[in-house]
């Protein structure tokens, strides 16, 4: 019944808005797929209603595709698309991997099946499964041991197999995914860039008046902005116009107008001097030079103290003094910069939370609150301040802050796969493993739960693996996480297999391959982001702008209206800015190519740009 309600609501959500919009996008692959799934679910719901009994409802695993189709899951949708795009080369290498696996399985079966003490190669099926598990190294020395104890030279078989498969072909897989992923990323960036350019040209054509066809005046620009960003203040609109207007003429040329998307995200603030408008001590703390010195002494000595006092309940006065200094610094900065500006920087947030945690620890200690470990753990966190000193750690943490949105969307993608597999697992494997089950399998040991009496003491000897089950969605998620980490995953697989059929292995192997793809892409992505950033900071010798990782743009409005004040616009630097810098030369080529052919950019991006709120920069990230 719940299913039927779900079906009705989803069909209302998916089908009807599309019919209303009469958008050509309705015919894209994704929607065809969605409609098919909906149709299958509809038939299934009717069958369930007619028979009035439940059955294996694996189609529930497909539900997340409706969730993905909301506005907030745009990044997840793009991730899924990228994963499917990097599949063809991935599959090529996977076939190579499996081919060698099968050859080695046959060889292993022929070599080791004579040994009755060797359960890993007793049949050809066992042989293939053993070598598949060996690919993940999860059964490594054990799979070799029976053969190795018979003949010492049999280790060569395993060393050769691992060298070829694990150390060569698996790396090749990573390289291919890494490369394809980068290629797709670059193509996406190019497509978006050209689309923006054509949008700007189109807007320019609409904005220029017939009398003056080579420029946009302030009034027209103001009208555009009132439509494009209704909440912008008139002052900000004027400043944006000024920032675009490099030539100093009264009108914006097309060249000026090309910078539209770079300038539009800036937040404007009055700046009296080059330093921020804060009182002296705050200014001192804000400039990088003394900060380094302060941190070198303070964090160094403080860290020594915290390490020293971590294990006692006695708090030396010096610790409290240092903490007070940190507290004052944080307060000064907040009053000086204002809470909003202060908390918009990742580094300030980091400072603030470390200090607040330290104070919390102190208060907890003062009131003699339990648990004590809470305090003990909070103190070493003070050491995190040290990471601000070294350039490499700053880079690492900066990159982490920048990576975070993307990592979150990749994590969400992984969770969607988890959900689908969890549903299938729950349908097939719920309640199949329990303590002392699986006695027919080779892993019975891990599921055993017996009382052992040693001397006069009775102990419960537990194998615990019965806890890795698919009984409910939370247990399933934990079990799937354990399968993702790979180590000892074959114990769960063999346990479930011994209680069901041999075909269950297909589920676990498929899951391994799917998570391998997703994890490889996550690894490739982290790798790419860091290598990119390190290259970038090497290419532009100066350190990466200011510590807050933001992009500044001055708009010196020397009009009377603003009394010769200098306005500073800032926004956080996105990967788009880095890409602009990295592909500088190629971008010129793309533009030239574009202006020659003047073709419409890729169709797929129409949809993203339909809603003006979804800012273009976000959709690159």
Q: Which is nearer to a second copy, 242 or 533 (CB)?
A: 533
Shortest Å, Cβ 351 to a second copy: 18
Closest CB to a second copy among 139 and 497? 139
Beta-carbon neighbour count of residue 510 at 10 Å? Answer: 12
* Closest residue by Cα to residue 225 from 621, 568, 612: 612
Q: H or E stretch including 461?
A: strand 457-462
| Residue 307 Cβ vs a second copy, minimum distance, rounded to whole Å | 10
Phi, psi (degrees; rounded to nearest 5) at 571 = -150, 160
- Cβ-contact 427, 57 below 8 angstroms: yes
Provide, rounded to whole angstroms, the least separation between the CB of residue 110 and a second copy: 3
Report the residue number, 39 or 99, with the smaller CB distance to a second copy.
99
How many CA atoms, within 13 angstroms, populate the side-chain half-sphere of residue 134?
A: 31
Q: Which is nearer to a second copy, 469 or 555 (CB)?
A: 469
Q: Rg of the Cα trace of the chain? A: 31
Minimum gap (Å) between residue 174 Cβ and a second copy: 6
Question: Closest by alpha carbon to 264, among 505, 559, 553, 466?
Answer: 553
In this complex, which beta carbon is closest to a second copy, that of residue 386 or of residue 580? 386
- Min dist CB 534 to a second copy, Å, is 5
Quote the DSSP letter at residue 343. H
Residue 371: cis peptide before it, omega within 30 degrees of 0 = yes
Q: How far is the CB of 184 from a second copy (least distance, A)?
A: 13
Q: Residues near 605 by Cβ (< 8 Å), separated by ≥ 6? A: 191, 192, 195
Could you tell me the smallest distance in angstroms from the CB atom of residue 171 to a second copy?
A: 4
Q: Which is nearer to a second copy, 54 or 439 (CB)?
A: 439
Contact indicator for 445, 463 with CB cutoff of 8 Å: yes
What tokens does 539 get?
A: 């290419």
Quote the CA–CA distance of 103 and 128 in Å, as a whole number: 9
Tokens of 444: 């019975």
In sequence order, what are the residues at sequence separation of 6 or more whose Cβ sits closer than 8 angstroms to the Cβ of residue 419?
61, 63, 64
Query: Which is closer to a second copy, CB of 348 or CB of 515?
Result: 515
Residue 593 tokens read as 């190519």
Nearer to a second copy, 343 or 404 (CB): 404
Task: Kindly state the smallest distance separating residue 153's Cβ from a second copy, in Å.
Answer: 10
Given the complex with a second copy, which of 116 and 273 has the nearer CB atom?
A: 116
Output the smallest distance, CB 508 to a second copy, in A. 14
The alpha carbon of residue 571 and the mean position of all alpha carbons in its chain are separated, in whole angstroms, by 22
How far does CA 594 lie from the centroid of its chain?
32
Q: DSSP label at 100?
A: H
Smallest separation (angstroms) from a second copy to the CB of 369: 14
Nearer to a second copy, 341 or 468 (CB): 468
- Judged by beta carbon, residue 183 or residue 308, the one nearer a second copy is 183
Decide if 65 contacts 33 (C-beta within 8 A): yes
Torsion angle of C-alpha atoms 224, 226, 231, 237, degrees rounded to 10: 70
Helix (H) or strand (E) holding 539: helix 504-539
| CA distances for 504 relative to 324, 430, 467, 496, 501, angstroms | 60, 13, 18, 7, 6
Give the nearest distance from C-beta 442 to a second copy in angstroms: 13
CA angle 192, 193, 195 (to 5 degrees): 65
Which lies closer to a second copy via its Cβ, residue 362 or residue 565? 362
Q: Residue 373 CB, nearest distance to a second copy (Å)?
A: 3
* CA count, 13 A, side-chain hemisphere, 33: 10
Taking the least distance from each CB to a second copy, the nearer of 176 and 264 is: 176
Minimum gap (Å) between residue 138 Cβ and a second copy: 6
Asked whether the beta carbons of 276 and 300 are under 8 A apart, the reply is no
Minimum gap (Å) between residue 578 Cβ and a second copy:
15
Return the half-sphere exposure (C-beta side, CA atoms, 13 A cut-off) of residue 504.
Answer: 19
Which C-beta is closer to a second copy: that of 475 or that of 615? 475
Contact between 444 and 438 under an 8 Å Cβ cutoff? The reply is yes
- Judge contact between 61 and 423, C-beta under 8 A: yes
What's the min distance (Å) between Cβ of 468 and a second copy?
A: 7
- Smaller CB separation from a second copy, 171 or 600: 171
Q: Which two tokens stand for residue 135?
A: 């690919």
**Geometric angle at alpha carbon 459, from 453 and 464, rounded to 5°:** 130
């Amino acid at each position: 019944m719940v299913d039927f309600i779900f079906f009705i609501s989803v069909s209302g959500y998916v089908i009807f808005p599309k019919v209303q919009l009469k958008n050509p996008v309705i015919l894209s692959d994704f929607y065809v797929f969605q409609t098919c799934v909906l149709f299958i679910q509809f038939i299934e719901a009717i069958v369930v209603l007619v028979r009035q009994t439940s059955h294996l409802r694996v189609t529930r695993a497909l539900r997340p595709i409706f969730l993905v189709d909301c506005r907030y899951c745009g990044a997840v949708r793009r991730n899924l698309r990228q994963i499917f795009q990097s599949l063809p080369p991935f599959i090529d290498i996977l076939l190579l991997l499996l081919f060698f696996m099968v050859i080695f399985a046959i060889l292993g079966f022929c070599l080791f099946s004579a040994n009755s003490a060797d359960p890993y190669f007793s049949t050809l099926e066992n042989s293939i499964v053993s070598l598949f598990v060996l690919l993940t190294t999860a059964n490594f020395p054990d799979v070799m041991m029976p053969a190795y104890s018979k003949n010492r030279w049999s280790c060569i078989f395993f060393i050769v197999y691992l060298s070829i498969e694990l150390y060569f072909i698996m790396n090749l897989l990573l390289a291919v995914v890494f490369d394809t992923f980068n290629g797709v990323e670059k193509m996406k960036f190019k497509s978006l860039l050209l689309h923006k350019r054509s949008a700007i040209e189109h807007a320019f054509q609409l904005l220029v008046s017939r009398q003056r066809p080579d420029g946009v005046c302030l009034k027209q620009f103001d009208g555009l902005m009132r439509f494009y960003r209704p909440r912008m203040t008139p002052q900000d609109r004027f400043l944006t116009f000024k920032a675009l207007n490099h030539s100093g003429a009264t009108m914006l040329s097309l060249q000026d107008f090309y910078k539209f998307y770079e300038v539009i995200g800036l937040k404007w603030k009055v700046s009296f001097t080059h330093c921020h408008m804060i009182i002296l001590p705050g200014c001192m703390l804000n400039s990088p030079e003394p900060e380094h010195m302060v941190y070198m002494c303070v964090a160094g000595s403080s860290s020594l103290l915290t390490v020293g006092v971590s294990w006692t309940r006695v708090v030396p006065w010096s610790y409290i003094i240092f903490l007070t200094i940190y507290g004052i610094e944080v307060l000064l900065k907040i009053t000086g910069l204002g809470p909003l500006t202060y908390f918009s920087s990742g580094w300030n947030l980091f400072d603030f939370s470390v200090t607040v945690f330290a104070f919390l620890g102190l208060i907890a200690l003062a009131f003699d609150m339990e648990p004590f470990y809470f305090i003990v753990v909070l103190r070493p966190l003070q050491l995190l301040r040290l990471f601000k000193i070294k350039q490499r750690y700053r880079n690492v943490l900066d990159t982490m802050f920048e990576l975070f949105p993307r990592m979150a969307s990749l994590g969400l993608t992984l969770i969607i796969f988890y959900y689908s597999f969890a549903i299938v697992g729950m349908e097939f494997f719920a309640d199949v493993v329990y303590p002392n089950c699986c006695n027919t399998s080779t892993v019975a040991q891990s599921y055993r739960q017996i009382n052992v009496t040693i001397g006069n003491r009775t102990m419960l000897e537990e194998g615990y693996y019965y806890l890795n089950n698919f009984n409910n969605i939370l247990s399933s998620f934990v079990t799937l996480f354990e399968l993702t980490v790979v180590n000892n995953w074959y114990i769960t697989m063999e346990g479930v297999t011994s209680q069901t059929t041999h075909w269950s292995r297909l589920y676990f192997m498929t899951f391994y391959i799917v998570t391998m793809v997703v994890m490889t892409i996550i690894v490739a992505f982290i790798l790419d982001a860091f290598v990119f950033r390190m290259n970038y900071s090497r290419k532009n010798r100066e350190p990466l702008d200011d510590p807050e990782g933001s992009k500044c743009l001055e708009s010196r409005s020397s009009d009377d209206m603003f009394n010769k004040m200098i306005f500073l616009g800032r926004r956080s630097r996105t990967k788009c800015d880095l890409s602009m810098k990295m592909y500088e030369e190629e971008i010129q080529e793309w533009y030239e190519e574009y202006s020659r052919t003047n073709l419409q950019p890729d169709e797929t991006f129409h949809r993203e740009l339909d809603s003006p709120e979804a800012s273009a920069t976000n959709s690159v990230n």
